Amino acid sequence: MDDTFTFPVNVRYLEVDAQGVVFNMWYLAYFDDAMTAYLAHRGLPYDEMTAAGHDVMLVHTELDWHGGVAWNDPIVVAVSLARLGSTSFTLDFQVRRAGEVVVDGRTVYVVIGTDGSGKRPIPDLLRDALGPERPLRPL
């Protein structure tokens, strides 16, 4: 059974461009929402993380489109930890429509201090929330 966390996305009319499909940048908006929901689902609401002095920052992201999403398509974004390093972690995202993978995403984050002190090792509260490594496609 697939128990990967999924986040339902509300595709807005304005996100669909003249080609009739969601414009590419909006997937990064979906992934950002899904990342936050994933952490909250695993016990770490985002503002609890920042209240503890930690924030995350993207250093790399990649997307592969296998198809397009139209306005009324019911889609979800699946989120899973792909890799947990000492100072960075990688999340896998999949935009799914009726079980089909429409877009694959992968993002590498680093942890920074909210006090401007820069990069730091992944703190325990975040490490615990991220869970076990279960990439959605080969690394």
What is the rounded distance in angstroms from the CA atom of residue 69 to the CA atom of residue 118?
Answer: 37
Binding mask 10-39 for a second copy (x = CB under 8 A): x-xxx-xxxxx--xxxxxxx--xx--x---
Read off the tokens for 87: 């100072």
SS3 128: helix
Q: Which CB atom, from 80 or from 107, has the smaller least distance to a second copy? A: 107
Judged by CB under 8 A, does residue 51 bind a second copy?
Answer: no
The CB-of-75 to a second copy minimum distance in angstroms stands at: 14
The CB-of-11 to a second copy minimum distance in angstroms stands at: 10
Binding mask 71-90 for a second copy (x = CB under 8 A): xx------------------
Q: From 124, 134, 101, 137, select the one nearest 52 (Cα to Cα).
A: 124
Q: From 139, 32, 31, 36, select the one nearest 84 (Cα to Cα).
A: 139
Q: How far apart are the first and last CA of the chain?
A: 22
Question: Could you say which of 53, 59, 74, 113 contacts a second copy (CB under 8 A)?
Answer: 59
